[in-house]
Amino acid sequence: MTQVHHHALSGVIEFTPPKYGDHRGFFSEVFKQSTLDAEGVEARWVQDNQSFSAAPGTIRGLHLQAPPFAQAKLVRVLRGAIYDVAVDIRRGSPTYGQWVGVELSADKWNQLLVPAGYAHGFMTLVPDCEILYKVSAKYSKESEMAIRWDDPDLAITWPDIGVEPVLSEKDAVATPFAEFNTPFFYQG
């Protein structure tokens, strides 16, 4: 049975599916819609995305898509390990601006659900990380938004792995949280 852990922020859920192995290798049902349904997850997945980051300390995020292309994400690591972060950006939420960070890895076999209404980002902890994530809406360049990964108002405690962060040009100049105009509102 899949292990389920609800994190401190509403809707952020960690799943660890069972892995059955023997001398030949292993088998695992890594995605099971009924498991998400049982936890009240309403997202329906339209696309799988896969990314590769060669250098440890690579940061991707904090990213989000504005409505009508808002995305929930179900993130898992195929190879390596990452520190995965979700930030509540729903105006009026009692946890607005708060974050949750979870180490996801191929060894731990865990996954993180990041609902729409949250910014998402991760840092690679080791070389050669491959990440696979389901999204609930297609990508739209016009709806793309980013918040500074190291914003002091968010005060995310990123792991210190002894290397300088590796950023894209876009992430290096992302919007500070104080200037971010969220398109999401808390529904209570």
- Is 133 annotated in the active site? yes
Neighbours of 126 (CB within 10 A): 17
The 10 Å CB-count burial string (b at 16+, else e) for 60-71 is bbbbbbbeebbb
- Please give the pLDDT value at position 130: 98
- Please give the pLDDT value at position 188: 78
Rg (CA), the chain: 16
Residue 162 structure tokens: 């002894």
- Please give the pLDDT value at position 15: 97
Choice among 83, 118, 120, 133 that is catalytic: 133
Q: Where are the alpha helices (DSSP H) in the chain?
A: 33-38, 169-172
Domains and CATH numbers, the chain: 43-179 (2.60.120.10)
Q: Which three-class secondary structure string do you get for the chain?
A: CCEEEECCCCCCEEEECCCEEECCEEECCCCCHHHHHHCCCCCCCCEEEEEEECCCCEEEEEEEECCCCCCCEEEEEEECEEEEEEEECEECCCCCCCEEEEEEECCCCCEEEECCCEEEEEEECCCCEEEEEEECCCCCHHHEEEECCCCCCCCCCCCCCCCCCECCHHHHCCECHHHCCCCEECCC
Per-residue tens of pLDDT for the chain, all 188 residues: 999 999 999 999 999 999 999 999 999 999 999 999 999 999 999 999 999 999 999 999 999 999 999 999 999 999 999 999 999 999 999 999 999 999 999 999 999 999 999 999 999 999 999 999 999 999 999 999 999 999 999 999 999 999 999 999 999 999 999 999 999 999 87
Choice among 20, 23, 63, 118 that is catalytic: 63
- Please give the pLDDT value at position 85: 98
- Is 118 annotated in the active site? no
The CA distance from 87 to 75, in Å, is 15
The CA distance from 43 to 125, in Å, is 28
- Please give the pLDDT value at position 68: 96
